[in-house]
Structure 1
Amino acid sequence: MNPHEREVAFSSPVNRELVHRASTSEVLPTSFSDTSKGTFVAGIQWPRRHSFYGPERFDSALIAETIRQLTVLTLHEGYRVPLEHKFMMTGFGFQIHGVQPSVVRRAAAVELVGFVSLVDARWSGTDLRGGKVEVAIRTREGQLIAEGYGVARICSASTYARIRRQGLGDSLGKTQRLEKLPASDVGRQHASDVMIGRTSDPAIHSIQADLDQPYFFDHALDHVPGVALIEAIRQHACIQHANPHVDLQRFEATFTRVVEHSPSATVHASPHSENLFLITQGPAVCVRATATLRVFGPTQVSRKFPSSVKGGAQPAPGALLLE
């Protein structure tokens, strides 16, 4: 029995505003409480089925979204950051650990426990200005499923508007419509779930953000969100390895610039290291990410690469992720 079992509940989701979601059905945390100074515990419920990610195989998109929601929830609920404030995430990472199939292959929804703490906090008087939120996701029995982190800079709505140019946040923007890849090539079921398209160079893919995609765009965003960029990297890896079952087992990223809706950004592996992925828009590098890949198939072979960024730039003040 997990010693924190009595501190979690699963009967209903937390308020959707606390995790920056418009749809209540997409809210994953079900409770949040303070266990001791600087440490929090959250109930988490994953759906039995979902139109986008697959809980039955611990989809990296599901892990990333869980960590994103716990990061946002902790800053709002744990540190009373006002709901109108903006979180400009400059770093994000996760690692998925081996789990028994019985954890998720059952009729009931999956109930988990998240342990969360804030480190490297930056304060201005009594106002929290940023920090690194560390997350560990465990089964109710205590088995570690995944761990990760989000590094956030916190700013007021007015400061955000100045950074993003006044009025830009009121518009979704326009995205170019280019040829997408078949959904089956990147391990997805629906065309709207495909995040990348072809370019003249087979080693480079354009990022195709579909504003009608309900998972990534269930509320208005003035940029391409970080979870969509992470998925674009995964899909690019599927094509590069000619296997739709490729997923991210370990992932770390530095977000140095906002990815706008237009012109189309591109994703490619670094010519110097196949485990280093870059997302660029025009001449600017927006995201540097390293990944260890895993392959889901009949034998579930794991393909591993080193996970250290070479020559990574320091995050700029304008980096934005997972809003």
Structure 2
Amino acid sequence: MTSDPYGKLTFDQTVPRSLAHRQAVGEVFVTDSAPGPDGDFLVAVQVPRAHSLWFDRLVPFHDPFSTAEAARQGSFVVLHRYFGVPVGLPFSLLRWQFRVHDLAAYRDDERSPLQGVLRYQVNDKSKGGELGDLTLSGELTIGSSTAMSFNGDVVFFGKADYAALREFQQASKPPPDPAASAVTPLDPALVGRRDRRNVVIGDGERFPYVIDTSHPSYFDHAYDHVPGPFIVEGFRQSAVVAAVRAGELPSPVAAVLGCTTTFGSFGEFGALLECSAEVTGAAGGRVTVAVELHQYGKRLASAGIELGPYPA
């Protein structure tokens, strides 16, 4: 990596929204990209200060989840610009993992947007020139600090193959369940939020999802399944509530220090989608929570969430 990762990149405007898989320009966090010196790729990102979701917090720190979303968008920019993946090709993110290494780098100076440089390495597992599985890994630099590392697996489908897959999956869906649209969101303070619109779970033996397709960020564009970033936010909120109720986390105002998610199947609209969360460890002020996604009596995805306090 170059000694000055900012040197090649600008933060003057966003990339075309289609490259980041967003409909609203205000939801695009990637501003520039360039090939790196060692077969890697550099991506500049900036998160707006007044974003309705990512500014909804109770501490003077930017949300690490916002940079995980920026890294997700940046991965698509890299794949479209440098690997020939056509825009609009269906995909599935099978696994996504990140770890925060320097939470202090996220401190909000209340003057500047959060911005940094992502560095990606891509392992293309495709064979015979056909698109298939790709693994991405990298790190986020904020200022002079390595703030986060991440890696993930994504698979792309031909449009006809994806259409056939979804037709097969949806053909076996039961009729819509009225309970899916009747979930009352938790109080925002219980999940470290201020705005009820950004609460994505309700209460119960398991945490049911509150699916509001009018949400401008989680449902930025039309989906034929419940989107992954929305599901992962539910993982985070479920983990926070479970950890506080177990007496292992003193406050719901906590940082996500690590997150590993694995997806096995799509979450469908029109049916109750629920999260289970169980504390699996606590030491040194950090709490680990195992989370699972359930629908139709099946486990669709799982995650491990590590929570901890913000610096004083």
Is the pair's TM-score, using the shorter chain for normalization, greater than 0.5? yes
1:176 alignment counterpart: 181
Q: Distance in 1 between matches of 2:78 and 2:181?
A: 35
2:100 alignment counterpart: 96
2:302 alignment counterpart: 288
CA 1:166 to 1:36, structure 2 compared with 1: closer, same or farther past 3 Å? farther
Q: More displaced, 18-27 or 286-295?
A: 286-295
Q: What is the 5 A alignment of 1:77-88?
A: 77-88=81-92
1:269 alignment counterpart: 277
CA 1:99 to 1:185, structure 2 compared with 1: closer, same or farther past 3 Å? closer
CA 1:238 to 1:271, structure 2 compared with 1: closer, same or farther past 3 Å? closer
1:66 alignment counterpart: 70
The answer as to whether partners of 1:99 and 1:145 remain within 8 angstroms in 2 is yes
Q: Distance in 1 between matches of 2:22 and 2:201?
A: 24
Question: Which of residues 109, 112, 135 in structure 2 aligns to 1:108?
Answer: 112
The answer as to whether partners of 2:61 and 2:106 remain within 8 angstroms in 1 is no
Q: Which amino acid aligns with 2:138?
A: V
Give the superposition deviation at 1:125. Answer: 1.8
CA-atom RMSD in angstroms: 2.4
The normalised TM-score by structure 2 is 0.85
Give the superposition deviation at 1:275. Answer: 2.5
The answer as to whether partners of 1:135 and 1:147 remain within 8 angstroms in 2 is yes
The answer as to whether partners of 2:242 and 2:278 remain within 8 angstroms in 1 is no
Q: Which amino acid aligns with 2:193?
A: R
CA 1:102 to 1:28, structure 2 compared with 1: closer, same or farther past 3 Å? closer
Q: Which amino acid aligns with 1:46?
A: V
Gaps of 5+ in 2: 171-175, 245-250, 282-287
Q: Distance in 2 between matches of 1:153 and 1:106?
A: 39
The answer as to whether partners of 2:131 and 2:157 remain within 8 angstroms in 1 is no
Q: Distance in 1 between matches of 2:298 and 2:106?
A: 45
Q: Distance in 2 between matches of 1:189 and 1:236?
A: 16
Give the superposition deviation at 1:166. Answer: 7.2
Give the superposition deviation at 1:106. Answer: 3.9
Q: Distance in 2 between matches of 1:60 and 1:50?
A: 14
Give the superposition deviation at 1:147. Answer: 1.2
Q: Distance in 2 between matches of 1:82 and 1:50?
A: 29
CA 1:268 to 1:14, structure 2 compared with 1: closer, same or farther past 3 Å? same
Q: Which amino acid aligns with 1:187?
A: G
2:284 alignment counterpart: none
Q: Distance in 1 between matches of 2:115 and 2:224?
A: 33
Q: What is the 5 A alignment of 1:8-23?
A: 8-23=9-24
1:133 alignment counterpart: 136
Give the superposition deviation at 1:102. Answer: 8.0
What SS does the aligned partner of 1:7 have?
Answer: coil
CA 1:102 to 1:95, structure 2 compared with 1: closer, same or farther past 3 Å? closer
What SS does the aligned partner of 1:233 have?
Answer: helix
* Aligned structure 1 segments of 4 or more residues deviating by more than 6 angstroms: 271-274
Q: Distance in 1 between matches of 2:196 and 2:30?
A: 28
2:219 alignment counterpart: 217
1:148 alignment counterpart: 150
Give the superposition deviation at 1:8. Answer: 0.9
Deviations 1:291-320 (A, max 9, x none): 211134xx65xxxxxxxxxxxxxxxxxxxx
Give the superposition deviation at 1:139. Answer: 2.0
Q: Which amino acid aligns with 2:233?
A: E
Gaps of 5+ in 1: 301-323
2:229 alignment counterpart: 227
What SS does the aligned partner of 1:133 have?
Answer: strand
Deviations 1:228-254 (A, max 9, x none): 111111111222233321332101111
Give the superposition deviation at 1:271. Answer: 8.1
2:173 alignment counterpart: none
Give the superposition deviation at 1:261. Answer: 1.7
What SS does the aligned partner of 1:13 have?
Answer: coil
Work out the number of aligned pairs and report it: 289
CA 1:288 to 1:27, structure 2 compared with 1: closer, same or farther past 3 Å? same
What SS does the aligned partner of 1:6 have?
Answer: coil
Give the superposition deviation at 1:103. Answer: 5.5
Give the superposition deviation at 1:183. Answer: 1.6
Matched, 1:251 2:251: no
Give the superposition deviation at 1:134. Answer: 1.0
Q: Which amino acid aligns with 1:268?
A: S
Give the superposition deviation at 1:262. Answer: 2.5
Give the superposition deviation at 1:167. Answer: 11
Q: Which amino acid aligns with 1:3?
A: D
The normalised TM-score by structure 1 is 0.82
Q: Which amino acid aligns with 1:192?
A: R
Give the superposition deviation at 1:186. Answer: 1.1
1:49 alignment counterpart: 50
Share of identical aligned residues, percent? 22
CA 1:178 to 1:59, structure 2 compared with 1: closer, same or farther past 3 Å? same
